[in-house]
Structure 1
Amino acid sequence: MPLGLIALAIGGFGIGLTEFVIMGLLPEVAADFGVTEAAAGWLISGYALAVVVGALGLTAATTRLPRKPVLTGLLVLFIAGNAISAMAPTYELMMTGRIIAALCHGAFFGIGSVVAAGLVAPEKAAGAIAIMFTGLTAANVLGVPFGTFLGQEFGWRSTFWAISAIGVIALVGIATLVPNLRTDGPAPSLRRELTAFRSGQVWLSLTVTVLGFGGMFGAFTYIAYTLTEVSGFASSAVPWLLVLFGAGLVVGNWIGGRLADRSIDGTLLGFISALLVVLVLFAWLAPNPVATIVLLTAMGGFGFGTVPALQSRVMRYADGAPTLASGANIAAFNLGNALGAWTGGLTIAAGLGYTSPIWVGAIITAAALVVMVIAAANARRHPRADAAGPARLDTSSTAASAA
């Protein structure tokens, strides 16, 4: 395994930690700045919106630049944003730091996916992407509990200093371990990258990403209420239950990456179908604590197991211009998060109970399955569109064989 993949995974770990650890520190942050919990929650929402902007804007702006320097530059931005958050004397400056850090999120994973695929043989591209995203899943399993503990013991600012240090480690790792992939073929350009969006399969893949993740996060966003108010767990048990969810993410990501190297569409059809079944069972059996533990873990596994395949599929159909399409898919993940959270919140506000977001998640996931069936059928009817396969993930990164 190329050591550059480990450096990319460390970067993913730090970025994932930045996104998720704030959820466990909101009370401390709100108290420190003297704002309401709702205002503190905007530190999460503002981050998500900035991810979408960065995923599209920064990726497009850096299209002509070599990818390794772009990745190191994004990490410098990430370190600066977290350092600003750690030192912020006011809520407004804290929000500024969050937005700066978020801008690099989508572009890092979008460009990093292309770089990861270029570090290995074409038939191992999805597995390489899964390794990079392992950092994101590990942030949920290990980083968030540790970061929350650190913030509660030594103040929430200490957590953001620790994240800044992780960013420095990732920066050094990428600078020393990721090779400068040679350019072969047409020079990268924004116009060329935009041609990826002529493909109907790219748009179908992005739609599956929005709906697939929207379904899972529709259920997950309000999972603490489900666990305590429906399943009967004590609030002190919630962090440990979320560790199980995170463990499911890690296992699902690994298995999904291995299977996607064999069949992208088959993996997506299987995992999305399984996620739909899990969500229906979860909504039905949530009052049973044992069933809840099993289904919560399975939800994480099948939900995140789609990530390597979704990212690989968008890149596959991007017609040799995968960078912007890859960034757009990262934006689609975050749009799915927002969609799931919004629809789940509507059902709770309507008085439909704390299992209603899970039912909504199941409905959204069913829609994702329908779109995926259409996409797979279209790919079978037009096999030449798929003939490019993983080998065309990045025609400007043919140093893969040398790596």
Structure 2
Amino acid sequence: MLFPILLLSAAGFTVLTTEFIIVGLLPAIARDLAITIAQAGLLVTLFAFTVAALGPFLTAYFSRFERKRLFVTILIMFGFANVLAALAPNIAVMGIARLIPALGLPVFWALASETAVDIVGPEYAGRAISKIGFGIVCATVFGIPVGTLISDAFGWRSAFAILAVVAFAKALLLFIYLPATHKHKEPVSLLAQLKILRSPLMLGHVLLSVLVFSGMFTAYTYLADMLERLAGFNGTVVGWCLMGFGAVGLLGNSLGGRMVDRHPLIASLSFCVVMIVGMLAVVPSMHSTVGLSVALALWGVTQAALFLVSHVRLIKAAPQAPAFAASLNIAGANLGIGIGAIIGGRVIDHLGLGNLGFAAAAIILLSILLALWLMSVKPQPACA
């Protein structure tokens, strides 16, 4: 039953690449659509805020549907959305093209792990979920930078066109090879799951995800623009830089997985501290190959680690409702991504591109303070 799991992971790669590929394409999109880089960044905000606002509710509603047909439909929807993006004549149409997949992403990610466990059985749950999560890492290692390289060679529209073809192909593969899964006998109601939000500790964990991702994406949203304008790199070099940024994330994913099992909040705090160092070092080292490589490596390792750490941290914080906790992390993370894109755009407009690292580091510092507070709070017994 390994092949269906790998197909879900591959589909996840396409889903996450659709969300984040725009990071490497923002400069080209802004030039082609005759908008500012900050206005282009609002496309990231639109996607993220849609996921944050609707993700948990859409997931709760669509969890009753048969998974195979649901996932095939989502991949087809992603395919059409990417076609629309490739043809978008202006920012308004581009906004619609980003809104459509934002409705499907949280549903896919919240239910894909559960489906993988249904396929292989609970005794192999850990292995199945780890394979699904590998699609996230591959999206940052290969999806974003390859999209940037394609954009530089053939134009940013071609990157979305190719991604559309890939989405349609994976929809067909899922239709052929993904087995039908059984519906759960007694799905937990949304109201029952919402009870975990009565815990101040749980709300603190969600807020921590919002702050961490706000800090990361204040700068990461505009990393390609920083490398183009501050370092003077062309699109090809930027693509390879993003490839390296994602590649070191494999190490971060491994380190995060080990540390989060020992103590989730210490893991969050530790990676945030190192991330601040990396973010603050990027701009001063722009014209030093070794310095820039080290700074981006520190940032890339910690960013990938915090993707995993945040996800597991929320699940461990609410063992009585792990699936809903995971959806809350997805919502909180995307709220942070959207806020970060807005803050980064404002910093560029008013303080300049070179100050993005300072703004991002300040937000990450807030997340460190919150993590320290959460570590001092004793968890209360779960309500019956």
TM-score grouping bracket, smaller chain normalisation:
0.7 to 0.9
Q: Contact (CA 8 Å) 1:193, 1:323: kept in 2 or not?
A: no
Please tell me whether residue 183 in structure 1 is matched to residue 172 in structure 2: no
Counterpart of 2:103, as a letter, is L
In the TM superposition, 1:145-294 aligns within 5 A as 145-151=145-151, 153=153, 156-172=156-172, 174=174, 176-177=177-178, 180=181, 183=184, 186-224=186-224, 226-227=226-227, 232-236=231-235, 237-282=237-282, 288-294=288-294
| Change over 3 Å in CA distance of 1:259–1:170 after alignment to 2 | farther
Runs of at least 5 residues in structure 2 that lack an aligned partner in the other structure: none
Q: Contact (CA 8 Å) 1:83, 1:161: kept in 2 or not?
A: yes
SS of corresponding position for 1:305: helix
Distance 1:288 1:149 in 2: 22
Distance 1:178 1:298 in 2: 41
In the TM superposition, 1:119-130 aligns within 5 A as 125=126, 129=129
Partner of 2:374: 375
Runs of at least 5 residues in structure 1 that lack an aligned partner in the other structure: 386-403
Q: Could you give the per-residue CA deviations for residues 223-267 of structure 1, whole angstroms, max 9, x where no partner exists?
A: 34544565x453453322222111122331233224434543343
Partner of 1:332: 332
Q: Contact (CA 8 Å) 1:10, 1:135: kept in 2 or not?
A: yes
SS of corresponding position for 2:205: helix
SS of corresponding position for 1:162: helix
Q: Could you give the per-residue CA deviations for residues 373-401 of structure 1, whole angstroms, max 9, x where no partner exists?
A: 232333xx34866xxxxxxxxxxxxxxxx
Q: Contact (CA 8 Å) 2:260, 2:313: kept in 1 or not?
A: no
Counterpart of 1:241, as a letter, is C
Please tell me whether residue 365 in structure 1 is matched to residue 335 in structure 2: no
Counterpart of 1:313, as a letter, is R
Superposed displacement of residue 124, structure 1: 6.9
Q: Contact (CA 8 Å) 1:209, 1:310: kept in 2 or not?
A: yes
Distance 1:270 1:310 in 2: 13
Distance 2:284 2:155 in 1: 40
Deviates more, 1:137-146 or 1:201-210: 137-146
| Change over 3 Å in CA distance of 1:155–1:283 after alignment to 2 | closer
SS of corresponding position for 2:318: coil
Counterpart of 1:76, as a letter, is I
SS of corresponding position for 1:187: coil
Q: Contact (CA 8 Å) 2:85, 2:93: kept in 1 or not?
A: yes
Partner of 2:312: 312
Q: Contact (CA 8 Å) 1:53, 1:103: kept in 2 or not?
A: no
Distance 2:372 2:67 in 1: 34
Q: Contact (CA 8 Å) 1:197, 1:325: kept in 2 or not?
A: no
Superposed displacement of residue 101, structure 1: 1.6
RMSD: 3.5
Q: Contact (CA 8 Å) 1:216, 1:299: kept in 2 or not?
A: no
Q: Contact (CA 8 Å) 1:84, 1:97: kept in 2 or not?
A: yes
What TM-score, normalized by structure 2, do the two folds share?
0.81
In the TM superposition, 1:59-138 aligns within 5 A as 59-65=59-65, 67=67, 69-86=69-86, 92-115=92-115, 125=126, 129=129, 131-138=131-138
Counterpart of 1:75, as a letter, is L
Distance 2:88 2:288 in 1: 44
Counterpart of 1:318, as a letter, is A
| Change over 3 Å in CA distance of 1:81–1:343 after alignment to 2 | closer
SS of corresponding position for 1:306: helix
Distance 2:146 2:56 in 1: 31
Counterpart of 2:75, as a letter, is L
Distance 2:124 2:284 in 1: 40
Distance 2:355 2:154 in 1: 38
SS of corresponding position for 1:217: helix
Distance 1:192 1:4 in 2: 32
Distance 1:156 1:277 in 2: 32
Q: Contact (CA 8 Å) 1:20, 1:144: kept in 2 or not?
A: yes
Q: Contact (CA 8 Å) 1:202, 1:318: kept in 2 or not?
A: yes
What TM-score, normalized by structure 1, do the two folds share?
0.78
Q: Contact (CA 8 Å) 1:54, 1:105: kept in 2 or not?
A: no
Q: How many residues align?
A: 378
Please tell me whether residue 48 in structure 1 is matched to residue 42 in structure 2: no
Deviates more, 1:275-284 or 1:50-59: 275-284
Superposed displacement of residue 296, structure 1: 0.7
